[in-house]
Amino acid sequence: MTGPSTDLPEPMKLSISTKLFVAVLASVLFVILSMGLATSWSFGRGFLGYLNEQALERMAPVLPRLASAYEREGSWEFLRHQPDRWFDIMRPEPRDEEVFHELRIPSSSDLTGALFRIALLDQQKKRVTGYPAIGDDALLRPIEVAGKTVGWLAVTPFQSVTEAGGERFQQYQLRASLGMGVLSLMLAMLIAWWIARTLLDPVKRVAAATHRLAAGEYSNRVTVSSSDEVGQLARDFNQLAYTLERNEQMRREFMADVSHELRTPLSVLRGELEAIEDGVRTLDQASMKSLQGEVGMLSKLVDDLYELSLADVGALNYRKSECVLNDLLANSAAMFQERCNAAQLRLELDLPAQPLRLEADPKRLQQLFGNLLENAVRYTDPGGVLRISAAIEGDDVRIEFLDSGPGVEAQQLPRLFERFYRGEASRNRASGGAGLGLAICHSIALAHGGSLTADHSPLGGLWLTLRLPRNA
């Protein structure tokens, strides 16, 4: 019996275009709402402040009339019993309109009803007449007679636009702001759509190409349509795809080369052993030497592969110490002198009289020089010349290995330091090795902070230049 399924539906995945569209739209909508609220608040505060200021200005010409009436009557009792006289005093006179005109003060306070919100207070701020609902928030102006305050003129300020009678104007402002908000929102939607469709299309193409690249389609490329960051992303992707394609090709070539180099000596060994087993060939010194030669070649190949693998992960041990380059080169040349004589090659050693001292691993340098000499002996025709020279060049020591023909074609020079690459067209093992010697030399030079380059030799063959820092 199985229980109910607990599989939950996967959450809906939004594309980057949708996310960008929603983000831009939400941002603009937030800005529009914020501006609308700020405008509404600012309008209310500013409009009410303007009306209350106008009410105070409206009180200015009334103050001297009230002072004259108090001085004439002696008290405010006449206004308590004769309310009509209050409206007569508050009524604007023609000269007041002229004063308003000269001061550029509109008399809009009468139209908004501010006149009916004015009250007269006595000396103790008790209401005498006027607006009955006068409160503590009233705006006061003193009434002075002979330098003495005899009363107060108070106006109750407007607290809302509705009280001030400006709701129609506020609604107009609200409709105008709403229209501008809708127009801005539509414009934001259009911009967001354009960004999502135009600017993100190259990103989508790179994303799709990345999926294909992850599936093993290393020949996949994307079109670079701009010079901005998105275009740089496309260029970087193309470079990455090219590098992966090249690495995959080199990996396949490497595996093919390794299998080839291992298969040949193993086949010879098997043939030799089967011949001895069948009695076709006797187990004598010649057959043992042949077997030892094949085993030695296999051992050399395995050792070279092991060294290159260590160099790739930076695990090769280098014990650097002060050494004299003259002695290392002289020892290497002495070890190969007999082989050069057998190959009818003239070995020339051109070294300066002063010792060339540098910080390096002498064993690794000896291995490097041995590989370079081995390469020269293998690929130089009999009767040729092998020349070795060394000199100081600034902060470096320059060592040159030059040999006579045959030479190397120009397009082959950059590939000489690749693994399993050999300059000759055939893969004849009688003339060449496994093609790992120069690759090992290159890794040793880099580990010492130097460089190894190849060029055409003036003697007709190959010109290898090794530069090593004197203080690595």
Alpha helices in 91-222 (DSSP H): 94-102, 108-112, 161-164, 167-194, 201-214
When pLDDT is cut at 50, 70 and 90, the band that residue 357 belongs to is very high
Q: Helix, strand or coil for residue 251?
A: helix
Minimum mean pLDDT range among 1-15, 61-75, 324-338: 1-15
Nearest to 91 by CA among 105, 106, 107: 107
Q: With a threshold of 0.85, does the pTM exceed it?
A: no
- Give per-residue pLDDT as tens, 86-134: 777 777 665 544 544 444 444 444 545 556 677 888 888 888 887 777 7
Specify the CATH number for 321-469; select among 3.30.70.20, 3.20.20.450, 3.40.50.1980, 3.30.565.10.
Answer: 3.30.565.10
Q: Which residue has the higher pLDDT, 373 or 311?
A: 373
When pLDDT is cut at 50, 70 and 90, the band that residue 149 belongs to is confident
DSSP 198: I
Domain locations along the chain:
17-164, 214-316, 321-469
Specify the CATH number for 214-316; select among 1.10.3720.10, 1.10.533.10, 1.20.1250.20, 1.10.287.130.
Answer: 1.10.287.130
Identify the burial level of 47 via C-beta atoms within 10 angstroms of its C-beta, where 0-12 means exposed, 13-18 middle and 19 or more buried: middle
- Give per-residue pLDDT as tens, 386-418: 999 999 998 899 999 999 978 888 888 888 888
Section 251-258 average pLDDT: 76
CA-based angle 31:33:37, to the nearest 5? 115
270's CB contacts (< 8 A; 6+ apart) are none
> What does the pLDDT read at residue 452?
94
Sign of the four-CA dihedral 88, 90, 95, 98: negative
Contact between 336 and 347 (Cβ < 8 Å)? yes
How far is residue 151's CA from residue 136's CA, in Å, rounded to a whole number? 16
DSSP conformation letters of 422-461: -SSSS--TTT---S-HHHHHHHHHHHTT-EEEEEE-TTEE
Q: Which residue has the higher pLDDT, 448 or 229?
A: 448
* β-bridge pairing 385-393 and 346-350: parallel
34 residue type, one letter: S
Q: Helix, strand or coil for residue 400?
A: strand
